[in-house]
Structure formats: structure tokens, C-alpha cells
Chains A and B, each alone.
Chain A
Amino acid sequence: MTATRYHSRLHQTARERHADTHPLTWRLHEDGTRVDLEDYTAKDGYAAVRQVLGRQSPEDVIETMKSANLRGRGGGGFSAGVKWSLTLKGEDLPRGYLVCNADEMEPGTFKDRVLLEQLPHLLIEGMILAAYANDSAFGYIFLRVEYVTAARALTRALEEARAAGWLGDDIAGSGFDFDIVLHTGAGRYICGEETALLNSLEGRRANPRTKPPFPGQSGAWGKPTVVNNVETLCNVPAALRHGAEWYQGLSGNLSDDGGTKLYGMSGRVARPGLWELPIGTRGESLFELAGGMRDGLRLKAWQPGGSSTGFLMPEHLDLALDYDTIGEAGSRLGTGLMTVVAEGQSLVTLVRNMEGFFARESCGWCTPCRDGLPWVEKLLRALEVGEGKPGDIELLQELASGLGPSKTFCAHAPGASMPLVSAIQYFRDEFEAGIARPDGA
């Protein structure tokens, strides 16, 4: 029953999912049960490992990934191939680590979870390939602690893969050694930030690290480290199996970005859930797949990919859901899991709730984030209950500007400021309504 509830989030049936159009999800079972090793290998699983390890040079693999134009699915949108090519490797350097960021904590986001619970071997295969390309000595999966089902699925899959020789020494006779350890986090949003994740993995406080040096130069335990998101790594086997051209072609003329994307919808839509679609699919199409708003509600605003992305308006639905287009509209694609806001929902309350979350999840390292966000939350709370003061909105905007990129240590606060800034931009009257009138009325 539990499995059914989760798998129901992926709305495409087995008949709609094909190996040549749905590289991420075509192997998923209709009932949401885990695809085990036998089933996975039967469905072309680990074929990319056989095809690549020992047969292609790591440099060629990285070149393929660069031309495939797979952009980081954790929300950053940085080219995976370029990231790999910037990761230090060489005989005079220690072999580093491959870290899978499975700390999926962005509010409204549940895409990696489906892959982790139902298709763990796809991730393992992607990690083997990534490790091969980057000469990583060892892999870590940093998993969100609440993902208990995923932890179970991964543990089983790692055992299966190890027993079958897909992990360990001399994988598939290639001479390449690699193994993976599953590490569960302790429930901090900031651990989704790749360098905070590395500190946490090392047993240090989960504060982000300064860049440069990037993890590719000095990452986990000071060694060259690749950190990739679950979905990013799950794209790797198909991209290498079928080639960059094929992979890039998946998005057709919808986007310059390559491949498919797990898109999702949450909020008061008729059918919240998940779909694997070519990257660059228009917002409207996704909105239609979700059956539009439920119960006759009207769409008021939406966030493209999590709480740390700026609000967009209904008229923005005709934009392509890719990194550049959404960025140009003043928001971010983020995780690509859209959250809708219905008419009648208070933006002040919604943003107050989000800023409360971001304030609480601040690691406490840099001043604007640590001390600015709680102030933002308190101002919003005052506005929410009608105790705002003249100047509060301007103060909020001033605070938000101090939370911008380069002013804070990492991207946490800039992400937190996006919904605030965009909500004031589009719905300023709702904020003004919270300012107490001098006559007390």
C-alpha cells in the first residue's frame, strides 16, 4: 500500500514510458516496487558499464558528457561534463571521491525519491560511470535521513551489485575498482549544498565551504571530489549507452539543454505528481498534465522548482521549463518541481512560512543569512497579523538585497530571498494590507 502511494506520483503508465524516450523511468514497475538487479539487468541494466569501462578512455567519457549537455539536475544547472572535466586527476594526485547528493530536501520536491526507492541500480550504474570518468576511488551516497524506504532499497541494491561484481575490485573485468557507501544525513536542509554536505560527511559542522577551491580541487577529506545530484547521475548511463547526439536529441527543439527531466507539480492542482518529459517542456503542458487547478480554484502564481525559486505569474506558463528561459524570466528552474498557489491563498503567509523554514535551516555561518532571515520572518509575521509598520516593506526589500548573491557565503540566502522579492514584486498590495493604520482601524 505504501509503495502504491509513492508510485502514484509518477503519472505515466508503463505503456507511455519507452527506453528511447524515457531513459530515467522506462524500467519502473507499474506498482512502484523496486526494480531488482535481475530485472534491471534484463532491461539493459549495466550495459553502459560493460560498454564503457576499459573500452573508452575517461577523457572520452567526459567529452561525451560535455556534448550531451546534461545540466545539473539538483537545481544548479551546471554542465555535468564540464564539472567532471574541471575535477583534478592525475598520477601525482590522490584519487578522490564521487559523492551522490541524495539529500533531497527542497520543499515541494520528490523526484530523486522515486528513483532512489524504485530504481537504485540506475543510480549505482551512473555512479560507476561517473567514478570511472573521474578516477574516483570511492563513492558516497549522502541520503536524506527521512528517506527510509530509499535507504532500504539502496542497501539491498548495493549488496546485489557487489555480489554480482558491479561494485568492488576489477569491475566487469575492466581493472577499475570502485565501491559505494550509503551515508544518511541528520536532517539539515543545508546539507543539500554540496560543500556543506562534504563537511557533514567528514563529521564537521554542516557549514558550506568557500569556493574556490571547488570540490573538484579539494573536496571530501581534501581530495578531488565530484558531487552530483541523483537525477543527474541517473541520466549518465543512457547518455553514454546511446551517445551524446541521441541524448541531446531527447529534448528536440524544445531546449538547448539535453535529455529528459523529471518534472512535477504540487499544490492545489487536480493531479499532483511526477512526469518524465523532454527538458524544455512548456509550463502549460505540465499544468495540463496535472489536470489544472482542482475544485474550480484559479491559479494565482507558481514557483518553478522549489521554495528557493522566485514566484512566476500565470502568464509565464507558456515559457519553456529549462534553466536559461526560467532564469531570464527572473526565477530559477531549480528542481523543476512546480508548486502552484491558488487564488485565496495569502502570499504573506506563504512567504512567511518559507522564510521561517529558511531562517531555521540557516547554518549560522554568515551574518546576513543568520541574522537577516529571522528578521525577515519576524517582519512578515507582523504583516501577517496586521502589525506591520510603515516602511516595513521597504525594509524587507532592503534586507532581501543584503541576502543576495556574493553578499552571503553560499546560495542559501539568495535562494531564500527569491520568493520574498518576487512576492512583493507581484503582490505588494497583500503586504501593504498588513501595515497597521495609524488610527488603529
Chain B
Amino acid sequence: MATIHVDGRAYEVVGSHNLLQACLSLGLDVPYFCWHPAMGSVGACRQCAVKQYKDEDDTQGMLVMSCMAPVEEAMRVSIDDEEAYEFRRSVIEWLMANHPHDCPVCEEGGHCHLQDMTVMTGHARRRYRFRKRTHRNQDLGPFIAHEMNRCITCYRCVRFYRDYAGGEDLGAFGSNDNVYFGRYREGALESAFSGNLTEVCPTGVFTDRTHSDHYVRKWDLQFAPSICHQCAVGCNTSPGERYGDIRRIENRYHGEVNGYFLCDRGRFGHGYVNRDDRPRRPEWRNVGEASATPLEVDAALDRGADALRRARRIIGIGSPRASLESNHQLRELVGEANFSSGVVAAEQACLSRMARLARESGLPAPSLREVEAHDAILVLGEDPLQSAARLGLALRRAVLARGEVLAEARDIPAWNAEAVMTLAQGARHPLFIAYPAATGLDSLAEHHLALAEENIARLGFAVAHAIDDRAPAVDDLDESTREAARRIAEALLDAQRPLVVSGGSLASPAILDAAGNIARALAGRRRRGGLTLVRREANSTGVELLGGHPLEWALDELSRGAADALVVLENDLYQRLPRAPVDRALEASALVVVLDHQRTPTWQRAHLGLPAASFAEASGTLVSLEGRAQRFFAVHEPRYHRPESRIHSSWRWLHALEATLEHRQASDVGLETVIRACADRHPALAAIIDAAPGNDYRIEGLELARAPHRYSGRTAMRAHLDVSEPRPPSDADTPFVFSMEGYSGSDRPRSLVAFAWAPGWNSPQAWNKFTDEVGGHLRGGDPGVRVLEPGSRERSHERSHGRSHERSSESGYATEVPAAFAARDGEWRVVILPRLFGGEETSSLSAAIAARAGASTLTLAADDARRLGVTEGDSLSLETADTRRNLPLRVDPLLPPGLVAVPAGVDPALASGDSARLALPDSMGVETP
């Protein structure tokens, strides 16, 4: 800490900060552009000038850029000094020289950092009277709109896109007052993090194109604290709604998880909640009929309950994309013995191993902020930029943090971004990746080992053995893998904080056993280290903690007539298993009830369809891959703008259905009650009650506002439905109100922040007003609570599946080392690889994501392609036991021979084949290798 004097007042600040960080952390307003809390200082914009004095007697002082001035003990500075104030006003005037006068039609208006800073600096009159410089804009794809004329050349975009996130297709071109930020030619931005440009850009150069289609000013949006449902990372988001549609998603700052940045699937993948074809009313479909009849709620519950009452046995299929509350409520409805997690057996075996490793391996699962503090990383069988993109970005930061270590040794502060980069010259902490195909992190890796899954596992087992020889050795390991294992073990042991990243993407329990062995071995040798295990879906971790049978079990029970009714929760079974067994099970069920917010193929087979709320309309709890239980809150009440809507949270439907079934009349239930019941039923989930403040939480006696206090048009926006304005819908489930009439300030610490706003700070930069120090933690605490920790409570019951196959030695090491993969003539191993765009069910239903998903391909090793005489672009036919697909060929020089890689989201039936056949298109005659 250090004491500094700002305008005559003494403050305690962090000694390693620069002056701008220090001032902002104190809550003092200093305007800035090029500095960013996550990206440090470069001193380009000159906006943050303040006066610095040598000592008490110095009355002259000199201007310094606060972002480039290290905090010094007893430093004396002035923000209010007239020369400094005038200079800052001048900087804005220069920036504004070429900036268009288009605020009224600019989509940044109302959440524009440049607007905020212009007001803050007092520049109000334009003296520049000459012609403005203009640029042409580019089409940057479905996510980002480009308006270069608004650019103030702060360089943040390229510093984020290239330096921070590793993108290569956005650059700075030209010089002097004609610098252009764009691509070398038009085309979709390739980075998975391009959406952050909309928040990183201090003005309206890069704006959200999906928002543009139905644009609303920030102050007219209704927000709620939400959790991204598009993968298991658990990024905090701030979705904004107007007229019943989600208009856009912004990052919601979380000091431990996503910080300031989201991936593009999370930001742009929400379009499915706005689809016109969403089910909004209960539907009844008679057996054998294609069309369905809409029902009222009571009628739907009565018919559903009647039919369930007639059933001999009801099976419930839960969902890893639904909340804990909804899954719990389904489990209550059907009973533990009849509940399936909705996850296929292979994935469930991985999930159960992951939960066990999280408790028993000895290494904790780090938050993303903690991930960034690890200094040697082994990625075993994951492609994090595809399967958990925000984690991939954190891994990149961790590897490049080596530069800051080097810089510190030369007295270059970590915030001096360009100087750190110059000194570091791309220096990296060691990163090793074992994965069958190329990954987006390869360019940072010391070594990428392109291996088939058994060989990845064998490598992992060998690494563990090299760290601790009590861990089982691997027989017949080839020399290069043995050497790689030795090098990896050495790097992990050399590190202060080694990190092992693995997960279920390749659906290989052996890989997880290997990762677990490495974690155990490291835990015995290092005090600090981490084990990050990637799960696929938003609540995969949570559903595993609830327990339940695998999906195949549920289908078997129905198909063989052991049960005759089925309730499916927010789960499209056709996305998980081949068509035939799903069809069989559904046909065998006398009653199929489906709750979902999408008209999925499974919904189309339902007798009773109940329209479920998506994250936009529901509140609930998810558990992220870190083991963090986090609450998401309904953004809006769907009936307000669509009175015909009968959408309700699945947990509410299921409770009502159960009540109707048991008491022959519906009754309502509150979120609090469901959370409490879930926590009581599942000791492992006891802490979820504390994941967020309850519905009685108040600040200064007030509920929390979902809408900014400038929210306009409330009395008019429903006038086409009814000229008298109804009361805003009430929300008994949460401390939020569906209006602006509640607390929305930043002066009282809180963890529940629907949208970031502070007086004078309308842009996302307002988050600085909510944090303990810039880039730190929310003053009210970062949201969520950890439910899965080393040594945390084991589930109260043992599951019949998964556990029994696992063998382990006395020291806890897994002992089943798989045999090496051997390519066999005529038989191909299909590996399904996760992909960011198009590999996830709900986001794929969003137009922008679908547009970026690109064509599905089939990937072969270069040698195999040569042997088959096929080249990139050729159409090949892939046949497994359950399906046959024609796909265009891509060649990956890294892929091991004998493998066929297919991206996720093409056809679940492809996953079933270990002996797939590959054929040239029929016209060329079938030929198998």
C-alpha cells in the first residue's frame, strides 16, 4: 500500500497500481480511453492527464498521464488542476474533430464511453471547422457492425482482439489521422471473442449487429443478472429485454469467472428465446396425430395429471441445460428410482468421474481468475476454445503471464502493457496439449501431441507415473510419448502452480482417470495446483450432483414396457441418441409430457407439451464446471407483452403437475421453497441457498430495479393491447421488480447487479464503480457459492452406474491403463469434436450463430486422405451402426491415422461407431480402405 495525496486529500492505494487505477479504485473520476482494466496502459489517448507535484512546495507541477505514472509513496497529484482540466478538455476536442455528429442515430448512444467522457471533461462546443476525415466500413459478419467514422483511434480494439485474445484478422492499418481498424478485406471476424469489441470500443465503431435488428437504447431495456446457458463455464451475463424480446446480452462483471469478457456463443447465441415458433401455450396432441390443440393451464394440468394417474410407472428425464430447481422438481414428481439425468451413459460416466475427482484428487478446480495465475498447463483431451471458450481465453492469459513475470524482474510494472510485450517477446509459460486435432491454443503450446483418445490417456498415465512412481506405469509406451511425458512432468513440477485441464469432450473415462492420476500425483508434491474439468452443458455439473440414471436406461425402461409414461424436461432426446431407440421409447409410452422452450423434435412427439421458460423468463440455479452454484434471474415476465403466453418455469409447471396429481388441484410454489427443498434433499447442494440473496433482500429498504431509472415509454408501450397501464408484474421469487422502481445505484455494495450504471457512467465502464478496485471483485462479493470442493460432502447415496467399473489402487490412483490405439483396416474410429458455433443445441437455433457455424465436415489425417485418393472438399460417406452421412472432407495434418473427426451437432448416431465405414460417394463406387 502507499499513501498518495489527491487534490489535498490523503488516500491509501495499492502500491503496484498506476495512478489512474488508483484514482478509479478510490471512486475518483478521471476520464480515459486507451487504458482498460484487463489490458493495462499504453499512454496513447492522453485523456487521463493529471498534475503531479514534486513535493509540498511545488506549485507549478507538471502534467503526467495518470495511466503511465506509477503510484509512489507520498505522491502529490491534482485532478482538478486547471491546466490538467483544460488539457483533458482539449483531448476530447481533438478526438471529436473527426467524430461524426450522429449520436442520435448511433447505436452506442446511451451507453457510450465517449459520450460519458465528453460530458465529464466539459467539452461542449466544436471549434473545428474543416472537413472531417471519413472511412469506408466493412461487413464483419453476423455479429459485429462496423462504423469506422466514429473511431477515436484508442487502439483498444486491436489490443483486445490481437494481444489479449489472440485474434489475427483485425488490425490497425495506415498512420497519422488516417488509421483504420478492420480486416485486410471484408469478412466475418474469426475470433471467438469478437463480441467483446462492442464493449471494449469506447464508442460506436463496433456494435452488436444482432441488437441492431431490433435496437433499443440501454436505458429502455429491462435487465436481470443472468448466467450464460451456452456452456458449463458459467459466465455472468446481463441480458436486456424490451417488448418481450431479449435485445442483446452484455457482459456482467464477475471478478472470479468471466471478468470483462464473454465468448461469442454466449453473447450472440440467445436468439432462440425470441423465436416466433417457440411454444407459448400448453398443447395436447392425441396419439397418432400430427397437429396439437392449445390448452389453458388448468386444463393442461388436469389432462396431464389424469393421464399420469393412469400410468403404471412414470419415467422422468431431466436435463443438463435446465436448472437444478427444475431437475429437482422432476425428480420429486417421478421419484428417485424413476429419474434419469437426461445424459447419455458415456457422458455420465465422465461426469461422475469428474465430480469424484473434484472432491478426491486433492487439487481444487480454479476459477477463471485463478486459472490465469497458473504457470504450467497440461490440456488432456480438450479443445477449450471450442468446448469452454471463455476458459480457453483464460488459459491463453495464463500462458502469456510469463511476460509479466519477466517484466517484473526488470522493474517494468505489469500494467505497462506495451513495455511488457516488448520485453516478453511472446514468452510463455509451458502449455502442453494432447488432443486428436489441431486446437486454437496450439500456437501457444510448447508441444501439441495429436493422439487418439487411448493414447492421450496413456500419455496422461505416464505423466502421473513420472511425477509419482506409485502411480501405475504404462507398458509398451513409444519413445516419443515417453519423452513427452517426462518433459511434461518436469514442467508441471517446476511450476509454482501447475494446472491440469481435462474433461468429457472426448467422452473418455480413461482420459479422466489419467488426468485424475496426474492431479493426485501433483497434489502430493505441490501445495498449489489446479484441476479444471470441462463439462459440456450449463448444468452438467449440477445434474450430476442430483444423481439419476443415464438416458439409455430411461429409454430401455420404456421400450421394454417397464414404464408407460414419460416426462421430459428441457431435453431434445434426438440430440443425444440415435433416432431409432428414441422413437421406440416414445412410441412405447402411453403418455409423453415434454417441457421445453423450443419446438424440438422431442416436443413434436409429446402428447402434452408444456411451454417452459428459458433463462429469459425463469429464475433458477446452475452449477458451473468450477463447481460454483450461481443463480440466474428472470429478465421479464412473458405475459406482460404477450398476454396469451402461458410460459412458466419448468419447476413451477412440475410442481403444479405434482400438486394436481396428488391433490387434484393446482397450487403455486415459490422459488425459495423449491431451492430449500432441493438443498434439503441433496446434502451436496445444501449451499445453493446461499448462491444469491433471497427474495426478501432489500437495499435501503428497496427491492432491486431491473430497469434503469430513465426507462421510458412504460405507460405507452402496452397501449396497443390495453389503454390502461397495468401494474408491473410482481416477482415473488426474487428481490427484483419488473420496473425501474427499485434500487439501481452503485454506492451500496451488492453482488446482484442487473445492469451497470453509475452517475456519469452509462457504458460498461461503469463496472469500475461496483468493484473493490478496478479489475478486482464486486464490492458486494462475486456472485455464487462453491458446492464442489476437495473434501466436500459426497452424495448421500451411491449410484448404480459408473462407480462400479472404476478400479483404483490403495493410494487412490486409477489403475486401468488402456491399450494403445491401433488403426485397423476398413474400420474407422469416429471422434466427435466439440465446436463453438453449431455444436450446442439451443444457440444453434439462433440465426447469428447458425450463420457462423459453417458447413459440417468430416476430417481425415493427411496420410489417410492420400491413401484413399481423396482431397479436401470431396464428399465422403460415413456409415455407423445407426446412421450414414455424406459430408465434405477436410484434411488435418495433425489428426492421427485411423480417426475420422466429425464436429458435434451433426448427428448423435455417429458417436456410436467404433468401427465406422467410410466410403467414397456412390457415384464413384463404394470402396473401403
Q: Are A371 and B42 in contact (CB under 8 A)?
A: no
Q: Are B68 and A375 in contact (CB under 8 A)?
A: no
Q: Are B44 and A367 in contact (CB under 8 A)?
A: yes
Q: A217-B410, A222-B423 are in contact. Are A374 and B49 (CB under 8 A)?
A: no
Q: Are B98 and A371 in contact (CB under 8 A)?
A: yes
Q: Are A375 and B94 in contact (CB under 8 A)?
A: yes
Smallest CB gap from A188: residue in B: B175
Separation of A361 and B44 alpha carbons in the complex (Å): 16
Separation of A307 and B38 alpha carbons in the complex (Å): 40
Q: Are A408 and B46 in contact (CB under 8 A)?
A: yes
Smallest CB gap from B425: residue in A: A222
Separation of A407 and B63 alpha carbons in the complex (Å): 7
Provide the B395-429 mask, 1 if CB < 8 A to any CB of A, else 0.
Answer: 00000000000000011100010110011110000
Q: Are B177 and A210 in contact (CB under 8 A)?
A: no
Q: Are A210 and B49 in contact (CB under 8 A)?
A: no
The yes or no answer to A122 lying at the interface (CB within 8 A) is no
The yes or no answer to B215 lying at the interface (CB within 8 A) is no
Provide the B183-206 mask, 1 if CB < 8 A to any CB of A, else 0.
Answer: 000000000000000000000000
List chain B residues, Cβ under 8 A from A365.
44, 155
> Secondary structure of the B side of the interface?
loop
Q: Are A362 and B176 in contact (CB under 8 A)?
A: yes
A381 to chain B, nearest CB (A): 9
Q: Are B176 and A370 in contact (CB under 8 A)?
A: yes
CB interface residues, A 347-375, toward B, < 8 Å? 359-368, 370-375
Q: A218-B422, A407-B49, A407-B87 are in contact. Are A360 and B176 (CB under 8 A)?
A: yes
Q: A210-B42, A222-B425 are in contact. Are A367 and B410 (CB under 8 A)?
A: no
List chain B residues, Cβ under 8 A from A345.
none
Provide the B83-105 mask, 1 if CB < 8 A to any CB of A, else 0.
Answer: 00001001100110110000000
Separation of A117 and B44 alpha carbons in the complex (Å): 38
Q: A364-B177, A367-B95 are in contact. Are A409 and B422 (CB under 8 A)?
A: no
Q: A395-B127, A402-B87 are in contact. Are A367 and B175 (CB under 8 A)?
A: no
Q: A210-B418, A407-B63 are in contact. Are A374 and B176 (CB under 8 A)?
A: yes
Separation of A291 and B492 alpha carbons in the complex (Å): 75
Q: Are B44 and A205 in contact (CB under 8 A)?
A: no
Smallest CB gap from B98: residue in A: A371
Separation of A206 and B94 alpha carbons in the complex (Å): 22
- Report which residue of A188, A359, A371 has the largest number of chain B beta carbons within 10 angstroms of its beta carbon: A371
B469 to chain A, nearest CB (A): 35
List chain A residues, Cβ under 8 A from B2.
none
List chain A residues, Cβ under 8 A from B128.
375
Q: Are A402 and B44 in contact (CB under 8 A)?
A: no
CB interface residues, B 422-460, toward A, < 8 Å? 422-425
Q: Are A367 and B412 in contact (CB under 8 A)?
A: no
List chain B residues, Cβ under 8 A from A389.
129
Smallest CB gap from A218: residue in B: B423
- B423's contact among A188, A213, A406, A407, by CB below 8 Å, is which? A213
A227 to chain B, nearest CB (A): 14
B926 to chain A, nearest CB (A): 52
- B130's contact among A212, A372, A378, A406, by CB below 8 Å, is which? A378
B424 to chain A, nearest CB (A): 7
Q: Are B68 and A210 in contact (CB under 8 A)?
A: yes
Q: Are B176 and A409 in contact (CB under 8 A)?
A: no
Separation of A44 and B49 alpha carbons in the complex (Å): 54
Q: Are A213 and B153 in contact (CB under 8 A)?
A: no
Q: Are B43 and A210 in contact (CB under 8 A)?
A: yes
List chain A residues, Cβ under 8 A from B416.
210, 213
Q: Are A361 and B45 in contact (CB under 8 A)?
A: no
Q: Are A213 and B97 in contact (CB under 8 A)?
A: no
Separation of A212 and B419 alpha carbons in the complex (Å): 8
The yes or no answer to A221 lying at the interface (CB within 8 A) is yes
CB interface residues, B 162-177, toward A, < 8 Å? 172, 174-177
- Report which residue of B152, B153, B174 has the largest number of chain A beta carbons within 10 angstroms of its beta carbon: B153
Q: Are B43 and A222 in contact (CB under 8 A)?
A: no
List chain A residues, Cβ under 8 A from B49.
407
Q: Are B419 and A370 in contact (CB under 8 A)?
A: no
- A359's contact among B87, B177, B410, B418, by CB below 8 Å, is which? B177
Total A-B pairs, Cβ < 8 A: 109
Separation of A374 and B175 alpha carbons in the complex (Å): 12
A86 to chain B, nearest CB (A): 14
Separation of A389 and B174 alpha carbons in the complex (Å): 32
The yes or no answer to B286 lying at the interface (CB within 8 A) is no
B242 to chain A, nearest CB (A): 36
Q: How many residues of A contact B (CB 8 A)?
A: 36
Separation of A334 and B178 alpha carbons in the complex (Å): 28
Q: Are B410 and A409 in contact (CB under 8 A)?
A: no
Smallest CB gap from A377: residue in B: B130
List chain B residues, Cβ under 8 A from A367.
44-47, 91, 94-95, 152-153
The yes or no answer to A398 lying at the interface (CB within 8 A) is yes
B411 to chain A, nearest CB (A): 8
- A213's contact among B91, B179, B412, by CB below 8 Å, is which? B412
Q: Are A364 and B176 in contact (CB under 8 A)?
A: yes
Separation of A371 and B123 alpha carbons in the complex (Å): 16
Separation of A37 and B49 alpha carbons in the complex (Å): 54
Q: Are B95 and A221 in contact (CB under 8 A)?
A: no
A203 to chain B, nearest CB (A): 12
Smallest CB gap from B133: residue in A: A374
The yes or no answer to B62 lying at the interface (CB within 8 A) is yes
A411 to chain B, nearest CB (A): 14
The yes or no answer to A50 lying at the interface (CB within 8 A) is no
- Report which residue of A188, A365, A367 has the largest number of chain B beta carbons within 10 angstroms of its beta carbon: A367
Provide the B831-853 mask, 1 if CB < 8 A to any CB of A, else 0.
Answer: 00000000000000000000000
- Report which residue of B62, B177, B425 has the largest number of chain A beta carbons within 10 angstroms of its beta carbon: B177
B77 to chain A, nearest CB (A): 14
CB interface residues, B 97-134, toward A, < 8 Å? 97-98, 127-130, 133
CB interface residues, A 174-226, toward B, < 8 Å? 188, 205-206, 209-210, 212-213, 217-218, 221-222
List chain A residues, Cβ under 8 A from B133.
374
Separation of A374 and B178 alpha carbons in the complex (Å): 11
A107 to chain B, nearest CB (A): 17
Separation of A371 and B96 alpha carbons in the complex (Å): 9
Q: A359-B177, A362-B176 are in contact. Are A209 and B91 (CB under 8 A)?
A: no
Q: A210-B43, A213-B412, A366-B43 are in contact. Are A221 and B172 (CB under 8 A)?
A: no
CB interface residues, B 816-837, toward A, < 8 Å? none
List chain B residues, Cβ under 8 A from A188.
175
Q: Are A361 and B130 in contact (CB under 8 A)?
A: no
Separation of A218 and B409 alpha carbons in the complex (Å): 12
Q: Are A359 and B176 in contact (CB under 8 A)?
A: yes
Separation of A288 and B691 alpha carbons in the complex (Å): 86
Q: Are A370 and B43 in contact (CB under 8 A)?
A: no
List chain A residues, Cβ under 8 A from B45.
366-367
The yes or no answer to B64 lying at the interface (CB within 8 A) is yes
Q: Are A364 and B175 in contact (CB under 8 A)?
A: yes
- A363's contact among B43, B176, B410, by CB below 8 Å, is which? B176
Q: Are A371 and B410 in contact (CB under 8 A)?
A: no
List chain B residues, Cβ under 8 A from A406.
62-64
Q: Are B46 and A368 in contact (CB under 8 A)?
A: yes
List chain B residues, Cβ under 8 A from A361.
176
Q: Are A409 and B177 in contact (CB under 8 A)?
A: no
List chain A residues, Cβ under 8 A from B175.
188, 206, 362-364
Separation of A406 and B65 alpha carbons in the complex (Å): 8
Smallest CB gap from A409: residue in B: B43
Which 9 A-B residue pairings sit nearest by Cβ, starting from the closest? Answer: A371-B94, A222-B423, A364-B179, A378-B130, A218-B423, A362-B176, A364-B175, A222-B425, A374-B177
A-B pairs with beta carbons under 8 Å apart, 17 shown: A188-B175, A213-B422, A221-B425, A222-B424, A222-B425, A361-B176, A363-B175, A364-B176, A367-B44, A367-B45, A368-B94, A371-B98, A373-B176, A373-B177, A374-B133, A402-B94, A408-B46
User: Beyond the given A210-B68, A368-B94, A370-B153, could you list 17 further A-B residue pairs with CB under 8 A, ordered by the A residue number?
Assistant: A205-B172, A212-B419, A217-B412, A222-B423, A222-B425, A359-B176, A362-B175, A363-B176, A364-B153, A364-B176, A367-B44, A370-B177, A371-B153, A374-B97, A402-B94, A406-B64, A409-B46
